[in-house]
Amino acid sequence: MTFLERVCQALETNNVPYAVVGGHAVALHGAVRGTVDIDYVIRWSLKNLVSVEEALNSIGLQSRLPISADDIYHYRDEYIKNRNLLAWTFYNPSDLSEQVDVLINYDLTGKKTQSFQLSNQQVRVLNKKDLIKMKLASGRPQDLEDVAALEKLK
């Protein structure tokens, strides 16, 4: 089972409403893009953040910063505005190539997902239209390149 499948399975087991975004989402939609970390968005709530933390801890991942789900939920605006923290990062201390970013500046509520069947696990990915909107809003050069690649697929 791949790292992506293990993470999605853990999120599913913990009933987390999630969607893969970032490079993995772009690749699953059909535009080739290399990336190491896996980016996720969730439906924003304290309950879901706690479930994310439990799910990721259950597969050996730990928060890179000494912060908890409760901290992220209650100090979200502070982290985004004053610390430029846009993602809550988890990593595997035994395998540093295993890294997950949970984006805290985006809420899955009201967005559409699409399921992709991988070899051992179904994964939910932000649909192409919402992924393009999200990437355009960020304005980062890599995100704009991703938008161009995704639009070529239409």
CA distances from 8 to 2, 76, 89, 123, 139 (A): 10, 24, 16, 6, 27
Domain regions of the chain by residue span: 3-138
Rounded CA separation 61/144 (Å): 30
Q: What is the pLDDT of residue 34?
A: 79
Give the phi and the psi of residue 54 in degrees, each rounded to 5.
-65, -45
Q: What percent of the chain has pLDDT over 90?
A: 94
Binning the chain into helix, strand and coil, the percentages to the nearest 5 are 45, 25, 30
Residues 71-90 pLDDT 10s? 999 999 999 999 999 999 99
Residues 12-49 pLDDT 10s? 999 999 999 999 999 999 998 878 899 999 999 999 99
**CATH class of this structure's domain 3-138:** alpha beta
